[in-house]
Amino acid sequence: MVPYFKAGLENNELCVWITSEPLTADEARTELMKAVPKLHRYISEGQMDIIAHTEWYLRDGIFDMSAATDGWIKKIDVARNHNYDGLRITGQQC
């Protein structure tokens, strides 16, 4: 996933990486930082989100389809409203 998101950031795209076990959000961030030295800037400016699947898909440990769908729609709106040239989202499975 690192090359996928590196290319997205370089092409002015909004990037959202939903991690899943066994990969944690912290581990994904660490690996992406090796390829994208300015990652902290992208994160602080809101162009890159790295989120654990437990925060995105689950509510109280139960899959919440409505919350997940609403989250995707919000990210589409962010991409449009901030004039990003594209949107890269993955609900990555290991």
Query: Which tokens hold the place of 13?
Result: 């795209």
Q: Give whole-number Cα distances, 70 to 2, 56, 75, 76, in Å.
A: 25, 10, 9, 10
Reported as a single tens digit per residue, the pLDDT across 35-64 is 999 999 999 999 999 999 888 888 788 888
Give me the pLDDT at residue 94, please: 43
What is the value of pTM for the model shown?
A: 0.88
Q: What are the residues whose beta carbons fall under 8 Å from the beta carbon of 68, sequence distance 6 or more? A: 56, 57
Instruction: List Cβ neighbours of 40 (8 Å cut-off, separation of 6 or more).
Output: 33
Beta carbons of 19 and 28 less than 8 angstroms apart: yes
Domain ranges of the chain: 2-91
The mean pLDDT value of the chain amounts to 92
